């Protein structure tokens, strides 16, 4: 989960997202619309009997806020919360698994704020089961084939790994740009990202207001996506003044056609 505003639990219930499936939560900064739902979510996990750890990547001050709320509500959380305090001054890798890495990058907002860059790792080659069965290659050799190592049978025949396997899927990436000025300072950190989420609080006729509040316009977000050579742009974090979001979408699409509204409940393929 990335950021956790008010109403998060209601939306989880609405879209059938289970509490126990969430193990990692990333909080970009400490404005309320990005973390006010967290105390309720953690409390519900506690009441529902969670025992496995929750990994929370966030500004250091968030622990103080949560600890104070738990203290004065007499709540003793029954599961471990493993904190990783983000560095709001420099980019860093904050999580690495067998499948992906998560890096932070520094954004320019009114208070310290980080974006998150999710990068899938290159997987091993895929076995062509029909071909290896025909040759009679033992299963124990499959890991070597996946790594590109040729197979030699008892008669000395050599079978090329690249003929018995296919290329893995191309790794994909996703960048989450939370609240920020569109100053371009973070572009080098996420160059070539496949899917970009970028805040687009205002239309460009309010660019002065955007700069005053350290936010981005839909036009600027589209320019950023174009500079990054992204495949897809998702825009969100719209000002409440916009009842109809179509003008923001059209403004962005004039610059970057593959732009979509990050509407509640919609699913996008990275």
Determine the Cα–Cα distance for residues 140 and 146; give it in Å rounded to an integer.
11
- What confidence tens digit (pLDDT) does each residue in 81-123 have? 999 999 999 999 999 999 999 999 999 999 999 999 999 999 8
- For residues 30 and 102, state if they share a domain: no
Length of the chain: 270
Burial of 113 (0-12, 13-18, 19+ CB in 10 A): buried
Domain count, the chain: 3
In 3D, which of 106, 101, 105 has the Cα closest to residue 119?
A: 101
Q: Which of 3, 23, 33, 130 is catalytic?
A: 33
Phi and psi based region of residue 237 (left: phi greater than 0; alpha: psi -120 to 50; beta: remaining): left
Residues 112 and 195 placed together within one structural domain of the fold: yes
Q: Do 140 and 99 fall within a single domain?
A: no
On whether both 50 and 133 belong to a single domain, the answer is no
| Mean pLDDT of the chain, nearest integer | 95
Q: What is the dihedral of CA 153, 156, 162, 168, to 10 degrees?
A: 30
CA gap 143, 210 in Å, rounded = 53
For residues 150-159, average pLDDT: 88
Residue 167 predicted with pLDDT over 90: no
DSSP state for residue 34 in the 8-state scheme: G
Dig out the tokens for 209 from the structure.
């207001």
CA angle 240, 233, 184 (to 5 degrees): 85
Tens digits of residue pLDDT in 231-262: 999 999 999 999 999 999 999 999 999 999 99
C-beta atoms surrounding 260 within 10 Å: 17
> Which stretch of 58-72, 108-122, 151-165 has the lowest confidence by average pLDDT?
151-165
pLDDT of residue 259: 98
Is 167 considered catalytic here? no
Judge whether residue 153 has pLDDT over 90.
no
pLDDT at residue 155 tops 90: no
What is the largest distance, in Å, between two alpha-carbon atoms of the chain? 76
Q: Are 151 and 264 in a shared domain?
A: no
Instruction: Kindly state the tokens that stand for 122.
Output: 């290159």
The DSSP call for residue 125 is P
- How far apart, in whole angstroms, are the C-alpha atoms of residue 150 and residue 88? 47
Residue 95: alpha-carbon gap to chain centroid: 12
End-to-end, the C-alpha distance of the chain in Å comes to: 16
Are residue 205 and residue 156 in the same domain, yes or no? Answer: no
Q: Taking the CB of residue 81, how many other CB atoms lie within 10 A of it?
A: 17
Cα–Cα distance measured from residue 27 to residue 60, given in angstroms and rounded to the nearest whole number: 11
- 198 in the same domain as 231: yes
Domain-terminating residue out of 166, 186, 220 = 166
* Tens digits of residue pLDDT in 171-198: 999 999 999 999 999 999 999 999 999 9
Please give the pLDDT value at position 112: 97
268 shares a domain with 147: no
User: Both 67 and 104 in a single domain?
Assistant: no
Domain boundary among 85, 114, 143: 85
- Per residue in 207-226, pLDDT (tens digit) is 999 999 999 999 999 999 99
Domain of 62, in residue numbers: 1-85
Q: What percent of the chain has pLDDT over 70?
A: 100
Q: Which residue has the tokens 């499936």?
A: 21
């Amino acid at each position: 989960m990335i950021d956790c505003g008010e109403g998060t639990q209601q939306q989880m219930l609405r879209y059938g997202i289970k509490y126990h499936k969430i193990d990692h939560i990333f909080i970009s900064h400490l404005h309320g619309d990005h973390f006010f739902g967290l105390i309720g979510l953690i409390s519900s996990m506690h009441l529902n009997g969670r025992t496995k750890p929750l990994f929370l990547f966030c500004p250091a001050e968030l622990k103080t806020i949560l600890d104070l709320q738990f203290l004065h509500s007499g709540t003793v959380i029954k599961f471990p919360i493993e904190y990783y305090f983000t560095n709001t001054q420099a980019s860093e890798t904050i999580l690495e698994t067998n499948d992906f890495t998560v890096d932070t990058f520094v954004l320019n907002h009114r208070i310290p704020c980080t974006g998150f860059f999710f990068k899938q790792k290159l997987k091993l080659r895929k076995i062509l089961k029909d071909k290896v069965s025909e040759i009679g290659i033992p299963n124990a050799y499959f890991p070597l084939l996946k790594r590109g190592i040729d197979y030699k049978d008892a008669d000395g025949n050599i079978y090329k790994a690249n003929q018995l396997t296919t290329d893995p899927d191309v790794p994909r990436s996703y960048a989450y740009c939370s609240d920020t000025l569109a100053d371009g300072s973070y572009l080098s950190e996420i160059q070539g990202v496949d899917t970009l989420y970028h805040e687009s609080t205002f239309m460009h006729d309010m660019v002065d207001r955007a700069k005053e509040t350290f936010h981005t316009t839909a036009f600027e977000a589209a320019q950023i996506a174009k500079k990054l050579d992204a495949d897809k742009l998702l825009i969100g974090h719209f000002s409440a003044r916009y009842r109809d979001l179509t003008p923001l979408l059209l403004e962005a699409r004039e610059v970057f056609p593959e732009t979509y509204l990050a509407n509640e409940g919609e699913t996008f393929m990275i």
